[in-house]
Structure 1
Amino acid sequence: MNDTPVQVSRRIEFFWRHRRLVLAIVMVGAVLSALSATNIKTHVILSDLFPQDHPYLALHKRFSQVFGGGGTSLVIALRARQGDIFNLPMLGKIRDLTREIELWDEIYRVQTVSIASNATKVVKTKARGEIAFEALMFPDIPENEAEIQLLRKNIFSNPAYDGTLVSRDGSAALVLTEMRETVSYERIFHKLQDVVRRYSDENTSVHIVGFPMLMGWIYSHKPQLYQVFAISVLLMAALLYLSFRNLVGMVVPAAMSAICTAFGLGFIAWTGINFSPLQFVLAFLVVSRMLSNAVQITHRYIEEYRASSSKETAAKRTMQAMSIPNAAAVATDVAGFLVLGIADIRLMKQVAILMSFWMLTILIEGTVVPLLCSLLSLKTRQPSGGQRRDRSTWLVRLSRFSMTVGRYPITIVALAIAAYGFWQVSKLKVGDPTPGSPILWERHPYNQDQVFFNQNFRASSETFSLYFDGAPESVYDPAVLMTFELFSQHMAQSLPDIYMSSSSLANLMKMLNCTFHEGDPVWYEVPRDREKLTGMMALLRSSAGMAGLQRYVDPEQSRAQITLFFADHTSDNLKRIRDAAYAFFQNHPLKTETGEFRLAGGRIGMEIALNEEMKKTHLLLDSLVLAAIFCMCALSFRSLVAGAMLSLPLVLSNLIAFGYMAYAGIGLTTATLPCSAVGVGVGVDFAIYLYSRAREEYPNTRDYTETILKAVRTAGLGIFLTALTLILPILSWYPLSALKFQAQMGLLLAILLFSNMVMAFTIHPLLLSWIRPRFLRSQEASRISVAETLAREN
């Protein structure tokens, strides 16, 4: 950017003289990169999605070794289409499914539970007053109607199972399990789909929710995702044909995009960094940006060629004219991605590294595009003046209107949009604003299954864990059990609309206490007498055995957990759960004589940690994106005023983006935040092209108004075509995509890019005419063209 005209001219001359060698090197590099792209890993890795340095995630690492991760819970329901589950065929299916899942390598067996598992106990009285814990329905199912009715009684008389393992109306039963964090979601999805096929029939339906199933659904939509991208590419090709109507305009931008894409994919493979499917939308944005930049450069080459009828002159002039806007645009795009690395989330750091390099490959377009254009034939016929005006007159009129009679209405409209944006931004949620998965449409089977579970059960995949960590055998301290029970009661009273149930040692103690009082449900509670509780704990340890307790305590009996089930993990409810949990310990001690309680684990604990990190990061990230754009633009144009003029209007586009997100119910997540932040950086490129052309034209006109209008007349059409090739293909995602996330991000990015394009022809001409910045005319005195420099040297 700081090279002298002589240096620039020599570099351009070198590239032209050795153009075949330059293109050969680029093509060989692209081919080698494309070949290595087959080694790219495309997995969803759970640990990459959360801030691993957060205290909740540190707790998750420690206790997941004992109780499972909590973040990979899976809930499977077998539902009788007619009647209930209390018949031999349905009970046999529940037993068979439980046995099958317990044998999977991908699960934590101790966390697998159903009415057919050995860990599901019932308290029974025997001869001579003996009390024992026995399996509810293990190893075999009932053999006759009397045993079936006894099973029904044991389930519905026990609050720990009624509505939790069996639905309230008895029509469905659950199998709950926990997947290992290293599981392949694609492989486990095929297993689960096989379960659905084998266990579904005219009498039975299967419903599955949980993070592994959600990720599996996303994997299953990859072919459709590629189809949507393919349709977008075809739209781009059609737009290129309609825009240029020549071979150069169609082939060169497409070829250049393919070359840069090959370099980007090759880099991803070379680094070995996982390329998550959640990043595919961003990747397509980068590819679209490559195409749009190539379109802008190609448009300038065609303009120069028709003015000179010389491929050499056109190529050299294009390389000279586009060097600064190309470098400035790439710098702002790369800066937008790089700042994502400040988030303490591995996925965001990976996005920062991979996408920054990928975007950096656009730098070569400033040289390679003109050289590629020179290889193809192009008609030298110059469009008539009337034809040229027909294609750009409306843009000139719009800009003229913005600088004259429309300056006040446009200012008022901009301020009104900003005010509305501020109002909507106040409603923007961090995290998921709606129940179910925001990645999928509401009508998707996964979200429909989520509704089914919430309507019929008091258990879900949305778990929240309170842990106890102490000395060996400290978990049998009555204070631990009483705290677990009181905590559950507090959460149920504080959050009656979303609390579902809890699971801990306290459940077994309540069953035992109820049995001691002849099955009277009034006594289904943890004994409050410490001595009595201690005696019952001893009985529990001796009769239940570790197989029945390992879901709740570790083998050393130094760690224990209580798991609470909630209806969803929406952002508002996560705050309520966190606040209610901490409110409990304002009145109860965190420590006992033998250990202490620790918050918070489970899927909800991980989501709370993520939301806290996102809330801390997103304002800083957006500010840094704008600051980075300001610095890059100021350096490119060597003017702080230019930096301010280019970056301040982005605040308006940011407000528009966040306003739309709030209006559409899109939360700030690790998937949406990069799109909204980077989309702003991509949008500023339109204004950079306009400013660069205006600075180039000023020495010829020496009049600000005429300079601005001439810049719009020449570069405006290229800006419009560039925006069109970006906006329309991305906009097509909304009606086509099976993923709600992709559709919404397509609409969001289209809104961002459209608003920046409109501002390039309204707000920016208005600012240029009002401020009349010196950086436009600062080049006049020192301006020496490439041709003049070469002539002087010769």
Structure 2
Amino acid sequence: MRVRLPLIILLAVVTAFFAWQASQLKPDASFEKMLPVLHPYIQNFLKRQDELKGLGNSVRIIVQTTEDDIFTAEYQDLLKRITDEVFYVKGVDRSALQSLWTPNTRWMEVTEEGFVGGSVIPDDYDGTERTLEKLRQNVLKSGQIGRLVANDFKSTIIVAPLLEIDPETGERLDYRRFSQDLEKMVRDKYQSDTITIRITGFAKLIGDLIEGATLVGLFFLVAFAITAIMLFIYSRCGWLTSAALLCSTVAVVWQMGLLKVMGMGLDPYSMLVPFLVFAVGVSHSVQIINRFGHFIYHKVSRVEAARLTFIRLSKPGFIALVSDGVGFYTLRVIEIPVIQELAVVAATGIAVLVLTNLILLPLVLSFTGVSDRCISYRSTKAHTRFRHWELLARTTRRGPALTIIGVCAVLFAGGLYYGQFQKIGDLDPGAPELRPDSRYNRDNAFLTENYSTSTDVFVVMASTGVQQCSSYEFISAVNYFQGVMNTVPGVQSAMSVVDVSKLSIQGMNEGSPKWHEISRNRFILNNSLSNAPNSLRNTDCSMVPVILFLDDHKADTLSGVVAAVEDFAEQYNTDAHRFEMAAGNAGVEAATNIVIRDAQTKMLLWVYGVVIALCLLNFRSLKITACIIVPLVLTSVLGQALMAALGIGVKVATLPVIALGVGIGVDYGIYIYSALLTQMRNENSLEKAYFYALKYSGTAVAFTGLTLAVGVGTWMFSPIKFQADMGLMLTFMFFWNMLGALLFLPALVWLFNHRQLEAQSTTR
């Protein structure tokens, strides 16, 4: 033990280094990280990303007046200034920026002299009544009412497509800074008693999430305080409490520092992982300080107590941590970069715990020892009959065991039944990551209520040969596709270059409604498409986007649209034309839902496969492995049923909870069964062996389960809804895994060993 001091000094130096690295860690978010990049839909989108400007990552800035309407000199002057301001916000694709004051917003009409048109803002605009009236007429002719201009003429939209990579620096778009720039340069600067600024879009959502995620630190402190208080109540020793908290906190510092060393950051979806690492660390620390205190109480020296604690708990602790880490790492099977990074973040934190909690904690305890108050408290406990543990130990008898197994079987069946109603994807309108009354969701609701076009855009790419997008066969196919999609439930409307062609042909025929149709004449079609905006076809005329505006992005809506497009493509795709998904925010979400649906079962199989393999490797028994795993399976099934009952969909934010719950829950079973096995080898009866196992490990498991459940339960008050959902699910899983380990596990032990136990009883 001569290396104790040098080893602690070395670990302190490493901690200082990682603390310095962690201090430089920055929030990291990216639109592309949210994309399931290997899915065919997203590959189609990425291949044509440059041809779909404005249909990918963009924000919409709504400038609303509460007085008069938008056709006043004051409002137009303000809109022009805001448009110019947005033009210079870092990250905006300036070439695709659109508002009433950009030259790409145009009007067109048919006169006796033919087609005439121009920019919506008159060339001679000077703010007088004459030019304002001219502006009003241009807006009415532009086709932008319900798109850029509200139906009640009380607001207009500035559409700002974004550049994911800065072409000058090559750096990723900083979503937090971009959101702050919008707030500072637009909302704070121009919002007043008569003007309201509203902002929607993925970048603003992520920015708000990052801002809200700073509250994670507050919730961490609350959970830290709750854990500290309950640890002290449990141990009655300041040294044991401080050592456990210190080593678990060191693990978080190491994890954060390692992320910076690996060139990674924390996005809004992985910001909660450090607390989970802290929770797992506390779970193992409680077992260690409990066993260390036991040895000290029996007059063992501090150094020897630390050594014996390491010997007794290093193997089950290592197996449990490896199970946690590998279980978390299996999230990598989900081919969405943000989840794959979360897997690395979680697995890195668990790997660190092997050093900080299994090695550093016993070393620290060998110096601190325990207080006299702790020894006195343990003496009092030792002379107490532990009536509650005696009652719990009876779960290993025939009657209670069969009752518990029967109740769990009923719960399992009920969980399977209700779990089938679980949905993949979002179940609420707006941004489900935030509360319904959040500013972002209020802004999104305003846009939906006051504009004809939805914020949920699903884009189907209709492709053909080069310079063939004006052929009758292709235009006719697109026209028929639009008609079919307009009948699909959840689709508000469909728009494509076909609409421009029909309006042009109608205009060329004196505006007669009977000519609002596509023409078989190639020259007429070519002419009708000559004024089509670049956003509705690519440069070589080989692809046109069909834009579907949806009622919402709920799971059922997206699955219905995807099924309709797939059916149409299967029937009508030819060598001459093809309909391929998908772009737009709703198209990306549809692809994400499909990837999650396909990966959910695969992820669970990997998680349980790894945990089962490690349990078999440690205990070399199918029966023991089943006793540890079956309670976890019940928790997973009930967790899915709970999500279905509470209307929580399986998505990027909630899917990792399932794996995290399994990984953390396996600790309880491993520690309890290890203690039980030790007692049974001493030829104790099952009931007596379980009673002693509860005294040595059960108290720590019960304390850990309750403490972590209370700590994580504080997340339910978070303004970030997905954090509140995670808090609710993890609280349930922590608590239910604890019950499973304390009640269901011993009942299973009796079930798998009752014949052998009865034979031993008869022999005796």
State if a TM-score over 0.5 links the two structures: yes
Counterpart amino acid of 2:353? I
Given that residues 260 and 358 in structure 1 are in contact (C-alpha distance below 8 angstroms), is that contact kept between their aligned partners in structure 2?
yes
Deviations 1:149-180 (A, max 9, x none): 4544554566x423222222222222223212
Q: Distance in 2 between matches of 1:391 and 1:132?
A: 96
Moved more, 195-204 or 318-327: 195-204
1:600 match: 582
The 3 A distance-change label for structure 1 pair 673 and 407 is same
User: Superposition pairs for residues 229-248 of structure 1, below 5 Å?
Assistant: 229-248=220-239
Q: Residue 40 of structure 1: which of 18, 22, 25 is its match?
A: 25
1:187 match: 177
2:214 match: 223
Q: Residue 648 of structure 2: which of 662, 666, 673 is its match?
A: 666
Q: Distance in 2 between matches of 1:622 and 1:587?
A: 36
- Please tell me whether residue 535 in structure 1 is matched to residue 527 in structure 2: no
User: Superposition pairs for residues 496-645 of structure 1, below 5 Å?
Assistant: 498-519=490-511, 522=513, 525=516, 527-531=517-521, 534-535=523-524, 537-538=526-527, 540-541=529-530, 544=531, 549-586=533-570, 588-592=572-576, 596-645=578-627
Q: Distance in 1 between matches of 2:573 and 2:17?
A: 63
The 3 A distance-change label for structure 1 pair 24 and 379 is same
Deviations 1:595-616 (A, max 9, x none): 6443222222221221111111
Q: Distance in 1 between matches of 2:371 and 2:668?
A: 28
1:425 match: 419
The 3 A distance-change label for structure 1 pair 708 and 74 is same
Given that residues 324 and 692 in structure 1 are in contact (C-alpha distance below 8 angstroms), is that contact kept between their aligned partners in structure 2?
no
Deviation, structure 1 residue 624: 1.6
2:69 match: 84
Structure 2 residue matching 1:77: 3-state secondary structure: strand
2:15 match: 30
Moved more, 424-433 or 148-157: 148-157
Taking structure 1 as the reference length, what is the TM-score of the superposition?
Answer: 0.88
Deviation, structure 1 residue 125: 4.2
- Please tell me whether residue 690 in structure 1 is matched to residue 672 in structure 2: yes
Deviation, structure 1 residue 718: 1.4
User: Superposition pairs for residues 233-632 of structure 1, below 5 Å?
Assistant: 233-364=224-355, 365-379=357-371, 381-383=375-377, 387-388=381-382, 392-401=386-395, 403=397, 405-495=399-489, 498-519=490-511, 522=513, 525=516, 527-531=517-521, 534-535=523-524, 537-538=526-527, 540-541=529-530, 544=531, 549-586=533-570, 588-592=572-576, 596-632=578-614
Deviation, structure 1 residue 654: 0.3
Q: Distance in 1 between matches of 2:4 and 2:386?
A: 33
The 3 A distance-change label for structure 1 pair 312 and 586 is closer
1:780 match: none
Q: Distance in 2 between matches of 1:118 and 1:224?
A: 42
Moved more, 378-387 or 744-753: 378-387
2:699 match: 717
Moved more, 346-355 or 623-632: 346-355
Structure 1 residue matching 2:103: 3-state secondary structure: coil
Counterpart amino acid of 1:725? T
Q: Distance in 1 between matches of 2:53 and 2:72?
A: 33
Q: Distance in 2 between matches of 1:24 and 1:169?
A: 70
Deviation, structure 1 residue 147: 4.7
The 3 A distance-change label for structure 1 pair 506 and 102 is farther
Deviation, structure 1 residue 666: 1.4
Taking structure 2 as the reference length, what is the TM-score of the superposition?
Answer: 0.91
RMSD: 2.6
Deviations 1:418-460 (A, max 9, x none): 1221122111111112211121111111112222222221223
Q: Distance in 2 between matches of 1:177 and 1:637?
A: 59
The 3 A distance-change label for structure 1 pair 260 and 324 is same
Given that residues 504 and 562 in structure 1 are in contact (C-alpha distance below 8 angstroms), is that contact kept between their aligned partners in structure 2?
yes
Given that residues 478 and 534 in structure 1 are in contact (C-alpha distance below 8 angstroms), is that contact kept between their aligned partners in structure 2?
no
Deviation, structure 1 residue 519: 4.3
Deviation, structure 1 residue 700: 3.4
Deviation, structure 1 residue 397: 1.7
- Please tell me whether residue 768 in structure 1 is matched to residue 753 in structure 2: no
Q: Distance in 2 between matches of 1:109 and 1:198?
A: 21
2:114 match: 130
Given that residues 517 and 523 in structure 1 are in contact (C-alpha distance below 8 angstroms), is that contact kept between their aligned partners in structure 2?
no
Deviation, structure 1 residue 391: 9.3
- Please tell me whether residue 173 in structure 1 is matched to residue 164 in structure 2: no
Deviations 1:722-753 (A, max 9, x none): 22332211111112x11111111011111001
Deviation, structure 1 residue 41: 4.3
Moved more, 144-153 or 25-34: 144-153
Counterpart amino acid of 1:18? V
The 3 A distance-change label for structure 1 pair 450 and 390 is farther
Given that residues 175 and 207 in structure 2 are in contact (C-alpha distance below 8 angstroms), is that contact kept between their aligned partners in structure 1?
yes
Counterpart amino acid of 2:393? S
- Please tell me whether residue 657 in structure 1 is matched to residue 628 in structure 2: no
Q: Distance in 1 between matches of 2:384 and 2:339?
A: 45
Deviation, structure 1 residue 302: 0.5
Gapped regions of structure 2 (runs ≥ 5): 166-172, 758-764
Q: Distance in 1 between matches of 2:709 and 2:3?
A: 36
Counterpart amino acid of 2:737? N
Given that residues 108 and 178 in structure 1 are in contact (C-alpha distance below 8 angstroms), is that contact kept between their aligned partners in structure 2?
yes
1:783 match: none
Moved more, 169-178 or 723-732: 169-178
The 3 A distance-change label for structure 1 pair 336 and 587 is closer
Deviations 1:205-243 (A, max 9, x none): 122211111001112113222111121112111122222
Given that residues 469 and 560 in structure 1 are in contact (C-alpha distance below 8 angstroms), is that contact kept between their aligned partners in structure 2?
yes
Counterpart amino acid of 1:192? L
Counterpart amino acid of 1:580? A
Deviation, structure 1 residue 337: 1.0
Deviation, structure 1 residue 200: 1.9
Structure 1 residue matching 2:56: 3-state secondary structure: coil
Structure 1 residue matching 2:682: 3-state secondary structure: helix
Gapped regions of structure 1 (runs ≥ 5): 1-15, 777-794
Moved more, 645-654 or 65-74: 65-74
Deviation, structure 1 residue 513: 3.2
The count of corresponding residues between Structure 1 and Structure 2 is 746
Q: Residue 37 of structure 2: which of 37, 47, 52 is its match?
A: 52
